Amino acid sequence: MKEFVDVRDYIVSAAVVGDWDGEEELVAERFNDILHTLYDMAEEDIETEVLERLLTMVWHHWIGQTELPELEIDEILDWCQHVLQNREQYLEDY
Tell me the residue range of the domain where 74 lies. Answer: 2-91
Q: What is the per-residue pLDDT for 45?
A: 97
Task: Note the residue count of the chain.
Answer: 94
Task: Please give, one letter per residue, the 3-state secondary structure of the chain.
Answer: CHHHCCHHHHCCCHHHCCCCCCCHHHHHHHHHHHHHHHHHHCCCCCCHHHHHHHHHHHHHHHCCCCCHHHCCHHHHHHHHHHHHHCHHHHHCCC
pTM: 0.94
Render pLDDT for 43-77 as a digit per residue (tens, 0 to 9). 999 999 999 999 999 999 999 899 999 999 999 99
